Structure 1
């Protein structure tokens, strides 16, 4: 971990920390499962289930598009129950025929292609949803871990402040410091105690949010497997076609297929029929066959064709815009990730320096060489440095989550 707690200077402070944690922590802590374990359960989250259901619907429509149109069966009777010579049914002609619509001009292939293109786009959107859920889970997991660390830092800051206050009171009793210093020290202790209460509330809220998002049956009270300390690779991956661009390309292709479908719907509908006609008078029968063709005189599907072409233009415009934006966003996310890695390294160095400065300041204060104000300032710098290190790690996680979203992958 980036914080070192093994210096002799903190022996007294850690006794207070241990006592405080024992008092405020549950008797039995249930640590959150590791991030990798939670990722394995992404399929049960509502967002993933929704995306899977939409993909199943698109695949079902693609399967339905392959179905042939149903034939029609017709039974007709002519020249029956009229006036002479058609009295009764003796002179009737009975026809049984089967009619089958014929999908000419490539209509069936266009319909299948459009449905398949929609299913391909739905599959990519399903993948995008999974990566988005994984990124959200990584961020919430890291925020819960950071909230827990900030609470621990607040508890430690309280112990350091109490230890310093005890040293000030000892000096006041010896007559080496005015009583005003004691009042100031007590005020600092109360402020540190208020920070502990605030960070504890933030930690509990973050744990509850993590349990809800990860759909855990047991409440989370601690995190044992760190995600904040996991440094992503600073080197950019070769992502030639980001997922968002792939989705836009699939949607543009689906829009183009829809134009073809609507254009072919304007062609005449052709139906072939074949039947048998029974001549009751002659006790004989003969075949009947024919072709019917619709005449596109009034409805040529012009409105639907225009609408499909407009949607295609919109999809192509989105694709062009995304190609420019995604590359820019990815370059910015990569730059933020590199900067966050450098910032984290600098923050860790700052923590080490602040710890050494506080150790020397405390020794100087006990020896009477520095004032309480100087000690308080150096202690505040140490607390700020440790919180800055936590903030730097959260920024690094956010940068990795954003870059993973653009690349179409699971963070870390």
Structure 2
């Protein structure tokens, strides 16, 4: 009898000991160390350069002389916290597949009983034990696995979509940096011309050719341009901060960096973009569209799971009892009786959720259609605007050339020449604004189509690099 009790108590202990268990590892989150790590981020990081090299540089790991939009896009994919978060969420979704695939553990019950006032001389113990073995029915485990796999697919697709959103913000930040730099240059040019005009007017005032009012107006124009110069410098500084944030590095990480604005300094060939074809492709293959389809597939599996839950699981309960020298074996089973309900509530919720995701998918497609149509119409308008701006700059150049010829022939004075130069500089500033609008239109198209238009990167390279880069 003693041996029997030993076996009954030792077996569960041995079972727990031999089963492999995960060990907890404490990982502290230290905000001071985290800040120090973030502040050390630079674009000269060898691991970053190797990452960029594997995508577009043919394996080169030397720092590039200049950084264009494509290189900065890969730097943002490497560093940006939004993408790191999307990867972490995808890892969580992958881990959920393992949870869904787990089978329920059996359980053991041991209930030794001691009889205190036993009338006979028999051993006053009753040894009883039973095992509960859960048996899932109706394919519930398969439906759980399918649901988790679809959710994991959706999470992975959202990594690529997050990369596109990051690229869009980066492109706008890059455009702002270019626009701020060029605007500062044009303001300085206007200020130089206005100061030269102011000096000439003061000379004319000194000899009595003009009134004080004209000189005062010139002084006011100079002061206004100085204010514009300060605003332009502030904008340049702020654009660097915006660009650094779009990449995911501190602004000091851009120190000494030479940016390549060649792709932004000229209007893109938007009229050659096959918008209609790309629109059809976007409605079917955009990462967020595919992610929404995966969410719907997960809802389908969730509904199948709840329908399967109508059928109760079975609990097999074999047992053994030793009593008064008798060995008693029992076979039992437990099953929930679906009398009060047949899981109609959860089935209705799952079905409503599936319908909600179907409506969300259609709404997403409708929003994409509207965004693409709006971006396309904006392209048409901005191309016409750019054409007018080019005509205006040509007219101003012709006017300046004419005034220069008159000045060289002695038919006009230097003040008129400076006035023509100032008018041309003002026109160039207006043309810069139109150029920025054309680049913004290109950015809108890329964002809505999820398609690189003026880029060496492809959809595949963006998605692959975003997915395979490990979290920071």
> TM class, shorter-chain normalised?
0.7 to 0.9
CA distance in 2, matches of 1:221, 1:388: 30
Partner of 1:11: none
- Residue segments in structure 2 that go unaligned for 5+ positions in a row: 1-64, 456-472
Cα distance, 1:268 vs structure 2: 1.1
- 1:199-238, aligned counterparts within 5 Å? 199-214=232-247, 215-216=249-250, 217-220=252-255, 224-226=259-261, 227-229=263-265, 231=268, 234-236=272-274, 237-238=277-278
Partner of 2:12: none
Greater mean deviation of Cα atoms: 109-118 or 211-220: 211-220
Deviations 1:345-364 (A, max 9, x none): 54344334323323433554
CA distance in 1, matches of 2:435, 2:315: 69
Partner of 1:296: 338
Cα distance, 1:200 vs structure 2: 1.2
Partner of 1:166: 199
TM-score scaled by structure 2?
Answer: 0.70
CA distance in 1, matches of 2:148, 2:298: 8
Cα distance, 1:228 vs structure 2: 1.6
Partner of 2:186: 153
Change (3 A) 1:273 1:191: same
Deviations 1:245-300 (A, max 9, x none): 32332222222222222222232121223444445514xx4654333211123354
Matched, 1:328 2:370: yes
Deviations 1:160-217 (A, max 9, x none): 2222333434445565544543333333222222211111111111112222332144
Matched, 1:245 2:289: yes
TM-score scaled by structure 1?
Answer: 0.80
8 Å Cα contact 2:190/2:426 also seen in 1: no
8 Å Cα contact 1:66/1:108 also seen in 2: yes
Change (3 A) 1:103 1:264: same
Change (3 A) 1:364 1:193: farther
Cα distance, 1:139 vs structure 2: 0.5
Counterpart secondary structure, 2:312: coil
Partner of 2:133: 100
Partner of 2:171: 138
Cα distance, 1:316 vs structure 2: 1.2
8 Å Cα contact 1:54/1:122 also seen in 2: yes
- Residue segments in structure 1 that go unaligned for 5+ positions in a row: 1-30
Which of 104, 107, 123 is residue 72 of structure 1 equivalent to? Answer: 107
CA distance in 1, matches of 2:412, 2:382: 39
Change (3 A) 1:353 1:186: same
8 Å Cα contact 1:58/1:115 also seen in 2: yes
CA distance in 2, matches of 1:224, 1:44: 18
CA distance in 2, matches of 1:333, 1:116: 35
Matched, 1:259 2:300: no
CA distance in 1, matches of 2:395, 2:422: 13
Partner of 2:230: 197
Deviations 1:317-356 (A, max 9, x none): 1122222331232132233235434544543443343233
CA distance in 1, matches of 2:173, 2:197: 36
How big is the alpha-carbon RMSD for the aligned residues of Structure 1 and Structure 2?
3.1
Matched, 1:350 2:392: yes
